[in-house]
Homo-oligomer: A and B are copies of this chain.
Amino acid sequence: MSVLPGELSTPYPVVDVDVLDRNVRAMAASAAARGIALRPHAKTHKCLQIAHRQREAGAVGLTIATISEAEVLAEAGFTDLFIAYPIWASPARARRLRALAERASLRIGVDSTEAAALLADALRGTGAELLVEIDSGHHRSGVRPEAAGEVAVAAARGGARVGGVFTFPGHGYAPGRRDSAAADEAAALDRATAALTAVGIDPRVRSGGSTPTAAAADPRALTEMRPGVYVFNDAQQVELGGCDWSDVALTIAATVVSRSGSRVILDAGGKVLGADQAAWATGAGRLPDHPEARITALSEHHATVTFPEGQPTVRLGDVVRVAPNHVCAAVNLADEFVVVSGGREIDRWAVAARGANT
C-alpha cells in the first residue's frame, strides 16, 4: 500500500522501490538467462536513480528516444546510449549529436537513405554508429527488412559506421498478440540481418524488444532487447496479462473529491495520468485496490470512477491509488516521485529528463 497521509496534496506519483527493484532484477535475470543483452528504454522513467539500478543489475547501456534525454543521461555519467529513433540531423541536431558523441558511446537510429546521408555527415570523425530501423509489423517508422541493406549502404557510403539493425514490435501491445509479435520481430530481424550481410555489412547488433514481448524474445534472432515499461508496469500491462497488480511499482495517489450514486470523482485527471487509452483498455486507468471499479471518463483534473456492482467502496476524502494506463505518459507529467518502501516514504527522486522530448 503506497498511499501516504500527511503534507502532500494529491495528485502525486508514488514509486514502491521494493516492487521496482524486483522488476529490475527479474528482467535482468530473464535477459541474462537467454544471453540477450539488456538495454532498457529510459524514456519510461527519465530518472537517474532508476538508471543506476538498471546498470547495477547488468544493463549494458540505455535506450532513449530523444537527443535531450541522451544529454541528461550523458551529463550524469551514462555513456553507452542508443537513441532508438530515426533522427533527422538538421544543423542544430547535428551539433548536439557531435557534442554527445564526444561524451558517450552513441548509437542512432536511421530508416531512410536521406537521413543516413545527413547523419553520416553529422557524425563524421566521431565514434558514433547507426542502426537501421526495420518495421516488424507495428507499421510506424522503419523500413521493410529487405530494404535495410539499401539504408546501410547509403550510411556506409557517407562514411558512417553501421552497427546493425533494430525494431520495435509495438503490435504486441494488444491482447493475445505477444507471441505472434515476438515471432514477427525475430523473423524481421533475421531478414534484415540477411539484407545487411548481402551488402557486406556485419549486422553485429540485432536489437528488439518491448515489455509485452520481452519474455518471448528469441535469442537466436536478438542480440539485445530494449523493454522500458517493466520497471513500473501499468494498467495496460496488467490488462494484457503480462503482470499482476502486485508488480505495479508506480501509482498516482488521488483524492475522492465528489460522489454521486455509483460514481466518484478523483482529483487525478489526464494532466497527471496521461490520456493514453488503447481500444482494448477497460477505461482510462485502474484502481489496483478496487479492481471492480472502472475509470469511465477522464478530463484534465477529474477521473470519473464507476463502481458497477453498486455503491462506491470509497468515501469522500479517501486517498486511493490509480495505475495509469501507460506509465511513460504519466512519468512525463511529473517533476518527482515520492519513493516508498514498506508503506513509508523514504526518498524523493527527480524526474531528471522530464520534458526532455526534443
Contact yes or no, A275 B357, CB < 8 A? no
Known: A111-B258, A258-B86, A332-B333. A301 touches B357 (CB 8 A): yes
Q: How far, in angstroms, from A260 to B263 measured CA to CA in the complex?
A: 45
User: Residue A329 at the B interface, CB < 8 A?
Assistant: yes
> In the complex, what residue of chain B is closest to A315 when comparing beta carbons?
B114
Contact, CB under 8 Å: B65 / A140:
no
Bound Cα distance from A288 to B154, whole angstroms: 34
Q: Which residues of A from 252 to 288 have beta carbons under 8 Å from B? A: 255-260, 263, 265, 267, 270-272, 274-277
CB neighbours (8 Å) of A142 from chain B are 258
> Are A357 and B271 in touch, CB under 8 angstroms?
yes
Contact residues in B for A68 (Cβ distance below 8 Å): 9
- State in angstroms the CA–CA spacing of A163 and B70 once bound together: 52
Copies of this protein chain in the complex: 2
Residues on B with C-beta less than 8 A from A300 are 43, 65, 328-329, 332
- The chain B residue sitting closest to A261, CB to CB, is B139
Is the pair A93, B9 in contact by a Cβ cutoff of 8 Å?
A: yes
Minimum CB–CB distance for A318 against chain B, Å: 10
Residues of B within 8 A of A43 (CB): 300-301
Q: Which residues of B contact A127 (CB under 8 A)?
A: none
Q: Is A26 an interface residue (CB 8 A)?
A: no
Q: How far is the CB of A91 from chain B (nearest CB, A)?
A: 8
Q: Which residues of B contact A141 (CB under 8 A)?
A: 257-258, 265, 302
A9 near B265: Cβ-Cβ < 8 Å: no
CA distance A190 to B314 in the complex (A): 32
Q: A86-B258, A257-B115, A332-B271 are in contact. Are A357 and B11 (CB under 8 A)?
A: yes
Interchain nearest-CB distance for A169 vs B (Å)? 13
CB–CB B299/A170 < 8 A: yes
Are B140 and A270 in contact, CB atoms less than 8 angstroms apart?
no
| Cα(A218)–Cα(B302), bound, Å | 26
The answer to whether B272 touches A274, judged by C-beta atoms less than 8 angstroms apart, is: no
Within 8 A of B (CB), among A40-84: 43, 65-68
Contacts of A67 in B (CB 8 A): 9
Given contacts A114-B316, A333-B332, contact A358 B66 (CB under 8 A): no
Which of B96, B111, B301, B329 touches A85 (beta carbons < 8 Å)?
B301
Instruction: Indicate if the CB atoms of B257 and A92 lie closer than 8 Å.
Output: no
With an 8 A cutoff between CB atoms, is A244 at the interface?
Answer: no
How distant is A211 from chain B, measured CB to nearest CB, in Å?
A: 13
Q: Are B140 and A265 in contact (CB under 8 A)?
A: yes
Q: Is A245 interfacial (CB-CB < 8 Å)?
A: no
With a cutoff of 8 Å between Cβ atoms, the chain B residues found around residue A251 in the complex are none
- A255 neighbours in B (Cβ, 8 Å): 88, 90
Is there a chain B Cβ closer than 8 Å to A347's Cβ? no
Beyond the given pairs A9-B93, A271-B357, A274-B275, 11 more chain A to chain B contacts, judged by CB atoms under 8 angstroms and listed by A's residue number, are A43-B301, A85-B257, A86-B257, A90-B317, A112-B316, A141-B302, A143-B260, A275-B276, A275-B277, A300-B332, A301-B357
* A residues whose Cβ falls under 8 Å from a Cβ of B: 6-12, 43, 65-68, 85-88, 90, 92-93, 96, 111-112, 114-115, 118, 135, 139-143, 170, 255-260, 263, 265, 267, 270-272, 274-277, 297, 299-302, 304, 316-317, 328-329, 332-335, 355, 357-358
